[in-house]
């Protein structure tokens, strides 16, 4: 991938999170990225295309990072679920944390027919599915139910952390997750 294209993606990701998607014009993006609109529209057919690609790469980066962390630090399948919020905490509290893309995007594009909303919704579903697969590997009966509960905690904590950095929400989310996991394991 061209360095300019990835530069635009990085800058857009940052600006979308810190200023909002609709409030960030393409002029601002190219100015910060140190290029021009002509170049941006060479790599992206429209602003909507840019938004979709920002969401896609952001979600891929997160999913890759998370599953790599889980696979390299745990051996038994049952441990992964327990360690999940450890790494989520590490991710949320890292200095370059910029929030979860699909949470903001779905708020700014509430229309269900919007491609941006549809992609956000799909990414949320995928993440829940991933947690559910971890729960299934850990021999938990209602894997989907637990996955939904954990994803609620996750999205709520990210929301809180986006709202106010250093709120400590993720710490209490981690505690709550442990209680819910332990509760679901015994049944």
Give the integer Cα–Cα distance in Å for 148 and 151: 5
User: What character string, x for contact with DNA (CB under 7 A) and - otherwise, covers 32-51?
Assistant: --xxxxxx-xx---xxx---
For residues 174 and 85, is the Cβ–Cβ distance under 8 A?
yes
Residue of 170, 136, 133, 165 whose CA lies nearest to 153:
170
| Nearest-approach distance from CB 49 to DNA, in angstroms | 8
H or E element in which residue 91 lies: helix 77-93
Instruction: Tell which one of 124, 133, 136, 185 touches a copy of itself (CB under 8 A).
Output: 124
Tokens at residue 97, please?
A: 């944390």
Q: CB of residue 168 vs a copy of itself: minimum separation in angstroms? A: 8
- 26 sits near a copy of itself (criterion: CB under 8 A): no
Contact status, residue 162 vs residue 104, Cβ threshold 8 Å: yes
Q: Which does 115 bind (CB under 5 to 8 A by kind): a copy of itself, DNA, none?
A: none
Computed on alpha carbons and rounded to an integer, the radius of gyration of the chain in Å comes to: 18
CA dist., res. 56 & res. 97, Å (int): 17
3-state SS class at 74: coil
Q: In whole angstroms, how far apart are CA 168 and each of 16, 119, 162, 173?
A: 24, 29, 11, 9
Judged by beta carbon, residue 35 or residue 59, the one nearer a copy of itself is 59
34 near a copy of itself, rule: CB under 8 A: no
* Among the listed residues 115, 159, 186, 187, the single contact to a copy of itself using CB under 8 A: 159
Closest approach of DNA to the CB of residue 27, in Å = 5
Tokens of 98: 């910029």
154 close to 173: Cβ distance less than 8 angstroms: yes
Site residues for DNA, 8-27, by CB under 7 A, read 23-27
Q: By rule CB under 8 A, what string of x and - marks binding of each residue 65-104 to a copy of itself?
A: --------------------------------------xx
**116-145 residues near DNA, rule: CB under 7 A:** none
Smallest gap from Cβ 22 to DNA, in A, equals: 8
Q: Which residues bind DNA (CB under 7 A)?
A: 2, 4, 23-28, 34-39, 41-42, 46-48
């Amino acid at each position: 991938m061209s360095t300019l294209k990835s530069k635009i993606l990085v800058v857009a990701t940052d600006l979308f999170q810190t200023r909002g998607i609709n409030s960030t014009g393409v002029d601002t993006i190219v100015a910060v990225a140190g290029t021009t609109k002509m170049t941006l529209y060479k790599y992206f057919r429209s602003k909507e295309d840019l938004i979709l690609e920002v969401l896609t790469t952001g979600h891929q980066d997160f999913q890759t990072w998370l599953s790599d962390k889980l696979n390299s630090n745990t051996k038994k399948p049952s441990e992964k679920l327990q360690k999940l919020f450890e790494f989520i905490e590490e991710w949320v509290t890292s200095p370059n944390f910029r929030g979860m893309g699909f949470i903001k995007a779905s708020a700014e594009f509430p229309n269900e027919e919007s491609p941006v909303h549809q992609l956000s919704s799909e990414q949320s579903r995928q993440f829940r599915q991933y947690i559910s697969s971890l729960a299934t590997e850990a021999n938990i009966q209602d894997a989907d139910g637990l996955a939904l509960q954990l994803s609620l905690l996750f999205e709520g904590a990210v929301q809180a952390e986006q709202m106010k950095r250093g709120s400590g929400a993720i710490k209490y989310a981690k505690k709550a997750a442990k209680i819910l996991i332990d509760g679901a394991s015994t049944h």
